[in-house]
Amino acid sequence: MNMNYTAEELAFRDEVRAFLDEKLPADIAAKVKGFRRLSKEDHQRWQKILSEQGWYATHWPEQYGGVKWTPVQKHIWDEESCRYGVPRSIPFGVNMVAPVIIKFGTEEQKQTYLPRILSGEDWWCQGYSEPGAGSDLASLKTRAVRDGDHYIVNGQKTWTTLGQHANMIFCLVRTNTEVKAQEGISFLLIDMNTPGITVRPIITLDGEHEVNEVFFEDVKVPVENLVGEEDKGWTYAKFLLTYERTGLAGIGLSKAALQHLKELASRRLKNGKPLIEDTAFSQRIAQVEIDLMAAAISNLRIIASVEGGGVPGAESSMLKVRGTEIRQSINDLARRAIGPYAIPFVEEELDLDYDGDYLSDENAAPLAAQYFNNRKLSIFGGSNEIQKNIVSKMILGL
Amino acid sequence: MDFRLNEEQQMLQDTVARLVRGEYSFEKRLEYSESELGFSEDFWKQLGELGLTAVPFPEELGGFGGSGVEVQSVMTELGRGLCIEPYLQSVVLGGGLIAQAGNDQHKEQWLGGIASGETRAAVGLQEPQSFYDLNDVETRAEKSGDNYVLNGRKAVVIGGHCADVLVVSARTSGDSRDADGISLFLVPADAEGLERRTYPTIDGAKGCDLFLNNVTVGADALLGEEGQGAGVIEYQAGRAIAALCGEAVGVMEVACDLTLEYLKQRKQFGVPIGRFQVLQHRMVDMMSELEQARSMAILAASVADEPQSDERRRILAAAKNVIGRSGQFISEQGIQSHGGIGMTWEYNFAHYAKRLIMINHQLGDDDFHLERYATLLQAS
Ligand SMILES: Cc1cc2nc3c(=O)[nH]c(=O)nc-3n(C[C@H](O)[C@H](O)[C@H](O)COP(=O)(O)OP(=O)(O)OC[C@H]3O[C@@H](n4cnc5c(N)ncnc54)[C@H](O)[C@@H]3O)c2cc1C
Ligand SMILES: Cc1cc2nc3c(=O)[nH]c(=O)nc-3n(C[C@H](O)[C@H](O)[C@H](O)COP(=O)(O)OP(=O)(O)OC[C@H]3O[C@@H](n4cnc5c(N)ncnc54)[C@H](O)[C@@H]3O)c2cc1C
């Protein structure tokens, strides 16, 4: 057993740090660290810098412009970028649809879409969920009917994250109603500017516009936008979900959030002393830090096993559940740390350009909202109940 | 032993329930919340006309002579409707402080209006550094001739943006966090040197921070005896905790009803999701949290207007601890049981969930009251 990084890995870490020291824009890092809103422009500006460095597409083969990092290198990148306040890359293009196109797409699709993902020309969103198809994704009803060299798409997608910024959506659609639910689904790439598509915002409980409903009314999609074979979409969707789940545990993000919490608790007062010196509160922080320590090692164990050629199985579902619970507890503590000031919602302080006086702590304004927003962590990407079902059925044989 | 409301109490609760049902649809609440005032002036008037703002005041002051139980019945229904009017701040706390500590002139000047709803009060008892400790007071009141000059800042004064009168705590002697030396003052809303920073609250109401810059008030603004405010504040905060427990129970009832209904109606995998045992058990846990909260609310109401004692202190700390925890459980597990829909602004459940979390941030969260209870335990 050896839990240390090798010399090469340490050298890689230095390289990452040097890059981030030099290239990460300070305003973007400040927004990430202070849990402020990032604009579409912020994301695009950072993506361009990453692409120029050749570090944007870490899951792709080199021939398509990817970089061949080992799982440990990816992990180092993840850790460092959370520490530095690198914006989380919007996964739908680079980490979701691209691996599917690379594995199942035509040469033409690869030539068309992959460069546009790298350059930031396309912003993708994920059209899986529907009002009637959440956990039971296979029951989706959005219909695609072949008509000459087009599909005519009718139906509705929902919870489409950042669909308001997107110009492309990858969708699961029903192409066959005669067979078992899973066997009549196809995977379509759809241009959001096609006539018949309407995007409507869904406002979440924290007042944010992050998700959308997407309506399709007689939308004409060229047949060459079908990925792989008709009716085989479920296989591709499941392939993609394994990509989605790795990384959902958010260990690096939890570490960054914990650091933020400790700084906050050092500034806030209770009984005239920093809150972090309060026995009960410091024990709460300690408890979550200990849980995170264990989860981080679990994460490394999975990474090491993947590095050795293994396939992440039940462990990654269990870690997703644990990891999201840990992040939610950190958010809970951060909200608690500001006491009565969790109640005011001072929206203008969410902007980094805000130059007025802060009502309490400069980082207080987003905390309650973020706590509410991150209730999503245990719901999306397969709810925690569904993850546990997977583990108990597929792995434990129950 | 009988835990039921008596006939009169039941009638009172039914009156509020009818009013809320008639006036407080989810859509209207959002409108009220987004208005300049931040709640419904009209609904507030009706609370006054029906005598509901008069519930806790003695009959000779135009009140109803209600105890903690009556106040709680009103609050439960306001909670069920997720009402954002400043009943707790004006009637329970503001009115309560004046009724307990005020002289005849104070009562005459303010209580009639507060009881009828024509006057609104708010209370500034917390400060930026105080966390939940109401004895942590740094705002100072200096004697200057016959007057007091107030300087300092009061934090998160819900309803303070539209109050006619503010009851604020300020130190006339002693060090920060000393119980001795805290005094209470009545500050008119238009006092010179009083500034507000108004904001919406995350659960749909409005409040402000108060900045007192050389606010000069006469000696007649002193409420109760100089330096003896801490006990009054503690007692009234206790009454407010009992009232808040009532509200919390109302909010939890609706949150549980909505979740249960959703479990029966939402289908996935060809069956109502309520068929999945993990959700069934969670629903049972939510209901049993509600029962725990209901029991503690009843207990809190029963001591709310009793003379101060360690027993009363313990019960109120325990009650606030329980509703804080039950509220968070029901809020989080209710959202989870709904899936994505539980997180949307357009569906009323999310607003109940937010209110439950914020009740925990009013008058001390579950951690604060656990510590308080433990301290009282050692003292007994
Ligand atoms: C903020 C946010 C962003 C999202 N972004 C996207 C996106 O970009 N693209 C996209 O396609 N989707 C997205 N989703 C959708 C997400 O994947 C779904 O919300 C999720 O799959 C759950 O579906 P549902 O919300 O319909 O809940 P439901 O499936 O109705 O579940 C309700 C409850 O029932 C439980 N449940 C359901 N089935 C079972 C079972 N068999 N056993 C036990 N419990 C069960 C669930 O765990 C949950 O607690 C997003 C969701 C959110 C909240
Ligand atoms: C100390 C002791 C004293 C007892 N005294 C008496 C007595 O005086 N008279 C008498 O008749 N019996 C008595 N019992 C027996 C007791 O009622 C049974 O142990 C009990 O009903 C559980 O049955 P079991 O032990 O066979 O466990 P099982 O029924 O086999 O259950 C095993 C586990 O599965 C769970 N489980 C079972 N079915 C479900 C389900 N549908 N959904 C979810 N989970 C489920 C159980 O909760 C348990 O965790 C006693 C038991 C003990 C331990």
CB within 8 A of A355, min separation 6: which ones?
none
The burial class, CB within 10 Å (0-12 / 13-18 / 19+), for B272 is middle
Q: Determine which helix (DSSP H) or strand (DSSP E) holds B155, and give its type and residue range.
A: strand B147-158
Q: Tell me the sheet residues that pair with A202.
A: A211
pLDDT category, A241, cuts 50, 70, 90? confident
With b for 16 or more beta-carbon neighbours within 10 A and e for fewer, the A114-138 pattern comes to: bebbbebebbbbbbbbbeebbbbbb
Sequence spans of domains, chain A = 7-89, 121-232, 246-394
Mean pLDDT value across residues A149-160: 98
Q: For residue A364, how many other CB atoms are within 10 A of its CB?
A: 23
Q: Is A387 in the pocket of ligand 1 (CB under 6 A)?
A: no
How far apart, in whole angstroms, are the C-alpha atoms of residue A237 and residue A227?
Answer: 11
Mark yes or no for CB contact B344/A205 under 8 Å.
Answer: yes
- Could you give the 3-state DSSP secondary structure of residue B121? strand
Tell me how far apart the alpha carbons of residues A370 and A169 are, in angstroms, rounded to a whole number: 27
Which pLDDT score is estimated for A244?
Answer: 58
B-chain residues near A360 (CB < 8 A): 128, 155
Per-residue pLDDT at A310: 73
- Residue matched to tokens 């000779």: B60
- CATH code for the domain defined by B7-120: 1.10.540.10
d(CA A52, CA A297) in angstroms, rounded, equals 32
Chain B residues in contact with A379 (beta carbon < 8 A): 335-336, 339-340, 342-343
**CATH fit for domain A121-232, picks 2.40.10.340, 3.40.50.300, 2.40.110.10, 3.90.600.10:** 2.40.110.10
What backbone torsions phi and psi does residue A130 show, to the nearest 5 degrees? -135, 165
Distance A383 CA to ligand 1 centre (A): 6
Tokens coding A375: 């209730």
Supply the pLDDT for residue B60.
83
For residue A243, pLDDT beyond 90: no
Mean pLDDT taken over chain A:
93
**Under a CB-based contact definition with an 8 Å cutoff, are residues B163 and B172 in contact?**
no
* Per-residue model confidence (pLDDT) at position A224: 97
Q: What is the DSSP letter of B133?
A: -
Higher-confidence residue of A237 and A342: namely A342
**Paired strand residues for B150:** B141, B215
B109 touches chain A (CB under 8 A): no
Q: Torsions phi, psi of A49, nearest 5?
A: -60, -45
Whole-number Cα distances in Å, A3 to A82, A297, A380, B233: 21, 9, 32, 57
Tokens of B136: 């942590």
> Under CATH, domain B122-227 is a member of which superfamily?
Butyryl-CoA Dehydrogenase, subunit A, domain 2 (2.40.110.10)
Any idea where the domains of chain B sit in the sequence? 7-120, 122-227, 230-375
Considering only the beta carbons, identify the residue of A135, A269, A342 that sits closest to B129: A269
Query: For B22-46, how does the pLDDT look when each residue is reduced to its tens digit (9 = 90+)?
Result: 999 999 999 999 999 999 999 999 9
Six token digits for residue B144:
């200057």
CA B246 – CA A300 distance, rounded (Å): 48
Whether the CB of A135 sits within 6 Å of ligand 1: yes
- The 10 Å Cβ neighbour count of residue B219 is 11
CA distance B117 to B98: 15
Nearest-atom number in ligand 1 for the CA of A131 is 26
**What is the DSSP code (8-state) at residue B342?**
G
Phi (first) and psi of residue A210, to 5 degrees = -125, -30
Residues A332-339, mean pLDDT to the nearest whole number: 98
Q: Average the pLDDT over A120-148 and give the result.
A: 97
The answer, yes or no, to whether any atom of ligand 1 lies below 6 A from the CB of A385, is: yes
Which bound ligand lies closest to the C-alpha atom of B276? 1
CA distances (Å), origin A154, targets A131, A195, A196: 14, 12, 9
- Average pLDDT of span A85-106: 93
Q: How confident is the model at residue A247 (pLDDT cuts 50, 70, 90)?
A: low
Range scoring the smallest mean pLDDT among A236-245, A295-304, B284-293: A236-245
pLDDT in the model for residue B239: 98
- Cross-chain residue pair B136–A271, CB shorter than 8 Å: yes
B122-227 against B230-375: fold identical = no
Nearest C-alpha of chain A: how many angstroms from B107? 30
pTM of the model: 0.96
Orientation of helix B41-49 relative to helix B7-23, angle to 10°:
160
Q: Which residue type, as a one-letter code, is found at position B175?
A: D
Cα dist from B285 to A329, B277, B322, B325, B365, whole Å: 20, 12, 14, 12, 21
In chain A, residues with a C-beta closer than 8 Å to the C-beta of B350 are 204-205
Residues of chain B with pLDDT under 50: none
- CATH superfamily, domain at B230-375: Butyryl-CoA Dehydrogenase, subunit A, domain 3 (1.20.140.10)
Distances from the Cα of B297 to the Cα of B71, B174, B292, B361, angstroms: 11, 35, 9, 17
CA of B289 to the centre of ligand 2 (A): 25
CA-B341 nearest atom, ligand 1: 25
Report how far residue B341's alpha carbon sits from residue A202's, in angstroms, rounded to the nearest whole number.
10
Query: Cβ of B203 under 8 Å from any chain A Cβ?
Result: yes
Superfamily of domain A246-394: Butyryl-CoA Dehydrogenase, subunit A, domain 3 (1.20.140.10)
What local confidence, expressed as pLDDT, does residue A242 receive? 67
Q: Determine what percent of chain A is predicted with pLDDT higher than 70.
A: 98
Grade residue A72 by pLDDT with cuts at 50, 70 and 90: confident
Q: Which of A67, A58, A57, A188 is nearest to A126 (CA)?
A: A188
